[in-house]
Amino acid sequence: DGGITQSPKYLFRKEGQNVTLSCEQNLNHDAMYWYRQDPGQGLRLIYYSQIVNDFQKGDIAEGYSVSREKKESFPLTVTSAQKNPTAFYLCASRNLTGTGVNGYTFGSGTRLTVV
């Protein structure tokens, strides 16, 4: 079955450490996105990529970095510069071809906790 896989499901990080969240999709979708969700809040856009080797900053990109070396993969690195990284991170993808604008397919999320 096609889908998006995020790993790990739960991640604990010490302050000052970088950590990378994995996102892989086998849907052949063009675009991939990273969002952050805090309790009681909506989803805020961190980074997105519409083609391989290209990505764009979202509303809250500071303290994060990404790469898009393959169409299937869009890993997110939370750096030590991110002041408050504890949150629920969601990866999404969608096709940009065809008529209309499609909704996203979401991964199951990674819950990051800084200890």
Partner 1 sequence: QKEVEQNSGPLSVPEGAIASLNCTYSDRGSQSFFWYRQYSGKSPELIMSIYSNGDKEDGRFTAQLNKASQYVSLLIRDSQPSDSATYLCAVNMWDQAGTALIFGKGTTLSVSS
Binding status of residue 2 toward partner 1 by CB under 8 A? no
Binding status of residue 85 toward partner 1 by CB under 8 A? no
H/E run at residue 3? none
Minimal distance in Å, beta carbon 14 to partner 1? Answer: 24
Binds partner 1 by CB under 8 A, chosen from 75, 79, 80, 104: 104
Give the strand pairing for 43-51 and 31-37.
antiparallel
Minimal distance in Å, beta carbon 56 to partner 1? Answer: 4
Binding status of residue 108 toward partner 1 by CB under 8 A? yes
What are the percentages of helix, strand and coil residues in the chain, rounded to 5? Answer: 0, 50, 50
Residues whose CB falls within 8 Å of the CB of residue 13, separated by 6 or more in sequence, listed in order: 19, 78, 85, 112, 113, 114, 115
Using CB under 8 A, count the residues that bind partner 1: 27
Interface residues with partner 1 (CB under 8 A) are 31, 33, 35, 40-45, 48, 50, 56-59, 90, 92, 96, 100-104, 106-109
